[in-house]
Amino acid sequence: MTSQVLDVGTVITGTGDDLEDATVVVEDGLITEVTQDETAGDDRIDLSDKVVMPGLIDAHVHLNYTGGTEDYRTKESLSDEYLALRSLEHARKALASGTTTVADVAARDTTVLSVRDTIEDGVTLGPRVKSCGGMLAISGGRAVDGRVSGSIVEVDGPDEARKETRKLLMYYGADLIKLAATGALSSPHTGARDPQLTVEEMTAATEEAHKCGRPVHAHCYGEAGISNALDAGVDVIVHGQSLTDDHIDQMHDQGSLLVPTLATFRKMEDGIEALGERDRPDSSGGVREEAVPNFERALEADVPIAAGTDCGMPEVHHGTNPVELVHYVDLGMTPGEAITAGTLTAARSLNLEDELGSIEPGKHADMLVLSADPREDISRLTDSETIDRILLGGEFVEDQLTAYR
Ligand SMILES: [Zn+2]
Q: What is the pTM of this model?
A: 0.96
Q: Tell how far the Cα of 106 is from the centroid of ligand 1, in angstroms.
A: 7
Tell me the residues surrounding ligand 1 (ion) with CB < 5 Å.
310
Q: Tell how far the Cα of 103 is from the centroid of ligand 1, in angstroms.
A: 10
Q: Tell how far the Cα of 151 is from the centroid of ligand 1, in angstroms.
A: 11
Q: Tell how far the Cα of 179 is from the centroid of ligand 1, in angstroms.
A: 11
Q: Tell how far the Cα of 345 is from the centroid of ligand 1, in angstroms.
A: 18
State how far the alpha carbon of 98 is from the alpha carbons of 131, 263, 313, in Å.
19, 16, 20
Q: Tell how far the Cα of 274 is from the centroid of ligand 1, in angstroms.
A: 11
Q: Tell how far the Cα of 138 is from the centroid of ligand 1, in angstroms.
A: 17
* CATH 3.20.20.140 placement within the chain: 56-349
Q: Tell how far the Cα of 122 is from the centroid of ligand 1, in angstroms.
A: 27
Q: Tell how far the Cα of 248 is from the centroid of ligand 1, in angstroms.
A: 22
CA distance 57 to 102: 6
Q: Tell how far the Cα of 383 is from the centroid of ligand 1, in angstroms.
A: 24
* CATH 2.30.40.10 placement within the chain: 3-54+358-404
> Which CATH homologous superfamily contains domain 3-54+358-404?
Urease, subunit C, domain 1 (2.30.40.10)
* 21 φ, ψ (degrees, to nearest 5): 45, 65
Q: Are strands 257-259 and 395-396 parallel, antiparallel or unpaired?
A: unpaired
324: Cβ–Cβ under 8 A, 6 or more apart, which residues? 58, 261, 262, 263, 307, 308, 309, 342
* 56-349 classified as CATH 2.20.28.10: no
pLDDT of residue 279: 42
Report which of 270, 384, 275, 369 is spatially closest to residue 320, judged by C-alpha positions.
384
State how far the alpha carbon of 201 is from the alpha carbons of 22, 85, 118, 208, 307, in Å.
49, 33, 33, 11, 27
Cα(first)–Cα(last) distance of the chain, in Å?
A: 31
CA distance 367 to 391: 5
State the amino acid at position 400 in one-letter form.
Q
Q: Tell how far the Cα of 77 is from the centroid of ligand 1, in angstroms.
A: 20
Mean pLDDT by 10 residues, the chain (405 residues): 91 93 97 92 92 98 90 79 97 98 97 98 98 96 83 97 98 98 81 92 98 98 96 97 95 98 84 48 68 95 97 93 97 97 98 98 98 97 96 97 92
CA distance 295 to 252: 16
Element (H, E) at 160: helix 158-170
pLDDT of residue 272: 54
pLDDT of residue 231: 98
